[in-house]
Amino acid sequence: MVDIFSRHKRSKIMSKISSHDTKPEILVRKFLFSQGFRFRKNDNRYPGKPDIILPKYKIAIFIHGCFWHNHNCNRGRIPKTNTKFWQKKINDNKKRDKKNQINLLNQGWKVIVIWQCEINNKMKMKERLEYLIKEIRLSSVDSQNNKT
Ligand SMILES: [Zn+2]
């Protein structure tokens, strides 16, 4: 089959699809914005380039795809074909995730992970996002207490 796109264009398209501005990320950002939170996205000055950074609260949020980051849900299962290949790839991702999170914690950031499956349907999403607000507010209370 002949690809209608040049190789360069194709890889550009694929990279756009894979990493940034995936739908769950957009949903979470829109929600936070509507709640009056201001944030930065994919800031590469921080370990792991978190999907959302809330500088005021020192919170880094990752929105993880269940497959790529090996969530313990149905979507997180390793495929039955090419198992070794996927196992390695996904283990590498997990190791990297862990390292990034530890680095962020060491730099005084709080890390919140939101899984793709947690915002898959509207009901779950509502619950998850309400909880996220609680997590953010709680952490701002924490940092105030630490000052006194
Ligand atoms: Zn999941």
pLDDT value of position 26: 92
Query: What's the CA-to-centroid distance between 146 and ligand 1, angstroms?
Result: 34
What is the DSSP track for 72-123? SSGGGPPPSSSHHHHHHHHHHHHHHHHHHHHHHHHTT-EEEEEEGGGGSSHH
Give the distance (Å) from ligand 1 centre to CA of residue 19: 17
Distance 112 CA to ligand 1 centre (A): 15
Which tens digit of pLDDT belongs to each residue from 104-143?
Answer: 999 999 999 999 999 988 899 999 999 999 999 988 766 6
Rounded CA separation 100/78 (Å):
23
Residue 62 Cα to ligand 1 middle (Å):
13
Cα–Cα nearest to 100, from 132, 64, 138 = 64
Q: Are 100 and 51 in contact (CB under 8 A)?
A: no
- Write the pLDDT tens digit of every residue in 5-55: 666 665 665 555 445 566 899 999 999 999 999 999 988 999 999 999 999
CA of 116 to the centre of ligand 1 (A): 6
| Tokens at 62, concatenated | 């990752």
pLDDT at 144 over 70: no
At position 63, the amino acid (one-letter code) is: I
pTM: 0.80
Secondary structure element (H or E) that encloses residue 41, with its range: strand 40-41
- The pLDDT of residue 120 is 85
User: How many whole angstroms from 114 Cα to the centroid of ligand 1?
Assistant: 9
Q: How remote is the CA of residue 39 from the centroid of ligand 1, in Å? A: 24
Strands 110-115 and 59-64: parallel
> How far is ligand 1, taken at its centre, from the CA of residue 72, in Å?
6
Residue 40 is predicted with a pLDDT of 95
| 3-state DSSP assignment of residue 7 | helix
